[in-house]
Amino acid sequence: MIRFPRPSRREVLAGLSATVLAAPALAQNAGTGVDVAIVGAGAAGIAAARKLAASGRSYVLLEAASRVGGRARSDTGLGPVVDLGAATFSRMDGTLADAAGEAGLPLVAVPSAARLFVDGHEVAESGYDAFALALGRTRRDMLAAADAGKDGPAAAFLGSRGPWTATVEAMLGPLGCGRALAAVSTLDLARRQAPPDDVTCPLGLGVMLERLAAWTNLRTDAAVTQITNAGRFYALALRGERSVIRARTVILAVPAAVLVSDAIRFNPVLPARVMLALRGCPSGAIEQVAFTLPGNPLHLADNETVLARAGEGAPTLLRGRVGGSDVHVLRFGAAPAQALSGKGEAARQAARTVMRGAFGLDMPEKLLVSNWGGDPLIRGAMAVASPGQGAQRALFASPLGRLVFAGEYTTPVGWGTLTGAWNSGEIAAERAIRLTGGPA
């Protein structure tokens, strides 16, 4: 732990604004001090903590929930383990897979391409070719527009992709990032270069992150409610606690939507340009419904994904045989996800309609339903730039004083992914080490 020198009266007067002096928690209690406080223990916060630990800096990882992992959460309510948030990630893009390997956590390959079903049946080879062509052309047109500096709605590049238009839109928009393409920035989507998710951890990705956080200096049930810039250090107030945590540098690893809400008060307030950038990247909505489907009626391989459409219905995504079990997971994106977030009966009805329409199968009684939109610590699926706002993410690369941003929303190419979040945490830790200065 570092010690903070007692500031002189002159330094206090020079360093503290009137509003800071008015902060009651800081005035009443001086708590413990660390080099770096990390707020939020999802993938980004955990990666930052590990990097800081390796550097020998003093740090604390503060998580509001009683568990770590954020949008990676494993559930055993159906028996076998299933992830209702992130379920797979890229082995190559960053150090997450290496960290898991070093921790002795098993990783297994998952099929990287989805199978395509139309009206309950798998399409012929020509159907796969037509879909790949439609998707490739849409991506190419979006890239060309982005290169030309155009940042309108991504839906403008769908044109007519024949019978695959709706599937391409669903995959890039509602099922891919939780927003309809009409509400998505062309630049943001064109830049997204998420490599194919090719591995998962059979223990569950939520469990994987818990293990990776195991030896960090972690405090759970520690909701940060206020961050006050006190000049030489930041004072972090925690819900239900009188004393504050003092940190020379703060890594903010909470979702963008949490920063936009009033859940954490900043003193002084975050600058208008930062708030504008955060509001330019609102959360998409994705919810997942898990259930068991005994007997493998769709003849799927373990962890295989099916992209299906039936009639005029919205295309749907089914992840089958999770971890080799009978558990399957249906994904809902954008408006349908908002409608069923955390609502058991609405989710059952929606899932039943999809399973009957797309696969001709009945739903079992027991299911698990995610509630990312209704969770006040998460507030949605992932931050997606609105049309015209695609350049805003670049702002999060620059620290604000000694406040450093981390999380999926801060990465222009890996946004909305687990590896993007993990990588952003490592980068934030490196920035924090530089900003904190002095000997380790």
Residues that bind ligand FAD (CB under 6 A): 39-45, 62-65, 70-72, 85-89, 197, 223-224, 253-255, 258, 263-264, 286, 288, 370, 372, 377-378, 381-382, 407-408, 416-419, 421
C-beta closer to ligand FAD: residue 16 or 336:
336
- Give least dist CB 294 to ligand FAD, A: 24
- Give least dist CB 144 to ligand FAD, A: 27
Which amino acid, 373? G
- Residue bearing tokens 């999802």: 42
Residues facing 289 on adjacent strands: 330, 369
Q: Is the dihedral of CA 71, 76, 77, 78 positive or negative?
A: positive
Residues facing 116 on adjacent strands: 307
Residue 120 CA to residue 310 CA, distance in Å, equals 7
Name the helix (H) or strand (E) containing 117: strand 115-118
C-beta closer to ligand FAD: residue 349 or 371:
371
Residue 30 CA to residue 62 CA, distance in Å, equals 17
C-beta closer to ligand FAD: residue 208 or 421:
421
Residue 82 CA to residue 109 CA, distance in Å, equals 16
Max distance between CA atoms of the chain, in angstroms, equals 78
C-beta closer to ligand FAD: residue 44 or 158:
44
β-pair type (218-219, 59-62): parallel
Residues facing 227 on adjacent strands: 236, 266
C-beta closer to ligand FAD: residue 16 or 307:
307
- Give least dist CB 11 to ligand FAD, A: 29
C-beta closer to ligand FAD: residue 130 or 377:
377
- Give least dist CB 224 to ligand FAD, A: 4
| C-alpha distances out from residue 413 to 169, 294, 426, Å | 20, 39, 15
C-beta closer to ligand FAD: residue 157 or 415:
415
- Give least dist CB 261 to ligand FAD, A: 9
Residue 59 CA to residue 52 CA, distance in Å, equals 7
β-pair type (286-292, 327-333): antiparallel
The three-state secondary structure class of 331 is strand
- Give least dist CB 397 to ligand FAD, A: 15
Residue 409 CA to residue 203 CA, distance in Å, equals 26
Q: Are 236 and 226 in contact (CB under 8 A)?
A: yes
- Give least dist CB 22 to ligand FAD, A: 21
C-beta closer to ligand FAD: residue 94 or 123:
94
- Give least dist CB 379 to ligand FAD, A: 9
